[in-house]
């Protein structure tokens, strides 16, 4: 049984989330907190397996509560909050930096046409994060701990024109780590990051501010420019055309249950760019991206999978490694070095 603490200052939202989870098989709501201070205290006394955390709360907000919980009694935290306003987005992504695992938009009431989908997503993510082991380490500690790894072996020098990155749970912080370590003059980067609908624009803005890189949500027919990062938008696959010089968005069928799909992006890059691309598959649940990364490797591209020690969830990169799709398996802290190093 997964024991959940629901944290939300709105009595209506708190009870809605609690009722959704209590009705799900294998999940039991063991407590309800109306602010971050209550949440910190109740985590200590109730020892839940998962905390669903709002960010906008009185007395102590979700970011501060997450920081205190991860310092005192580390517990898997799922941010469940609204997507409105830059302030809320910043708090949400700072909560991820403080140790929360991923985020989802608050479910609307049963009369909403999106209600059933949001219910399924909430229940699924609670089950996923319940299986993640968390520690008192800061979110970047696992990456910095790998700094003592031996020097990276040299790889054949290649003229890289495009980098494609896929990620899911844990991806925002991994992306921030990589983008922050890249030089100003760098090939264009396309990214498919699984996120709850409505969050991707906030992720682009947050990454741009925190990494000082040009990051934007991709638009159809965008020209791919050096030193720019393009994120797949909600409900559209990101692909490339014209030798990897332009974006092509596709709102067709989901691939493997995802739209946008990492597999769809990697396959497009494999077909249109081939050996002059690099593919990188980061932390995430499931197996999206594993087959596409193999397509890139088969097309001659250099491919990288994040290692198990630094991935919050090793599902996606782990499947890629099992399939032989990765040219290298690297700790998060050295991926930027590899992308910017002799192999590029």
Active site residues: 168, 194, 288
Does residue 7 contact residue 65 with C-beta atoms inside 8 Å?
yes
- Residue 146 makes CB contacts below 8 A (sequence gap 6+) with 309, 310, 331, 332, 333, 334
- Residue 214 makes CB contacts below 8 A (sequence gap 6+) with 208, 225, 227, 228, 229
- Tokens representing 161 are 């024109």
What is residue 66's three-state secondary structure? helix
d(CA 194, CA 171): 8
C-alpha pair distances (Å), 83 with each of 79, 105, 124, 279: 11, 6, 20, 30
d(CA 124, CA 122): 5
Does residue 164 contact residue 281 with C-beta atoms inside 8 Å?
no
Please provide the DSSP assignment of 262-320 as one string. HHHHHHHHHHHTGGGEEEEE-S-SS-TTHHHHHHHHHTT-EEEEE-TTT-SS-HHHHHH
């Amino acid at each position: 049984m997964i024991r959940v603490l629901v944290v939300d200052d709105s009595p209506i939202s708190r009870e809605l989330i609690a009722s959704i989870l209590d009705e799900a098989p294998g999940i039991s709501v063991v407590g309800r907190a109306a602010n971050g201070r209550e949440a910190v205290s109740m985590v200590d006394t109730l020892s839940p397996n998962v905390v669903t955390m709002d960010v906008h709360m009185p007395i102590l907000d979700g970011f501060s509560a997450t920081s205190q919980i991860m310092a005192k009694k580390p517990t898997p935290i799922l941010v469940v909050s609204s997507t409105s306003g830059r302030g809320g987005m910043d708090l949400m992504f700072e909560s991820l930096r403080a140790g929360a695992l991923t985020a989802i938009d608050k479910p609307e009431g049963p009369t909403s046409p999106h209600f059933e989908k949001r219910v399924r997503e909430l229940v699924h993510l609670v089950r996923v994060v319940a299986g993640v082991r968390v520690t008192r380490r800061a979110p970047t500690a696992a990456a910095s701990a790998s700094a003592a790894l031996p020097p990276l072996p040299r790889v054949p020098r290649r003229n890289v024109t495009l980098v494609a990155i896929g990620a899911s749970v844990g991806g925002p912080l991994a992306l921030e780590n990589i983008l922050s370590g890249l030089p100003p003059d760098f090939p264009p980067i396309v990214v498919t990051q699984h996120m709850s609908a409505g969050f991707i624009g906030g992720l682009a803005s947050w990454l741009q501010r925190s990494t000082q890189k040009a990051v934007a949500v991709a638009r159809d027919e965008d020209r791919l420019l050096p030193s720019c990062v393009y994120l797949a938008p909600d409900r559209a696959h990101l692909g490339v055309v014209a030798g990897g010089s332009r974006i092509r968005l596709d709102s067709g069928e989901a691939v493997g249950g995802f739209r946008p799909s990492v597999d769809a992006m990697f396959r497009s890059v494999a077909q249109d760019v081939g050996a002059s691309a690099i593919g990188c598959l980061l932390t995430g649940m499931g197996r999206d991206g594993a087959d596409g990364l193999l397509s890139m490797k088969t097309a001659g591209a250099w491919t990288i999978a994040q290692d198990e020690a630094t991935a919050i969830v090793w599902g996606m990169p782990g499947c890629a490694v099992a399939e032989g799709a990765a040219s290298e398996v690297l700790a998060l802290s050295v991926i930027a070095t590899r992308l910017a190093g002799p192999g590029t």
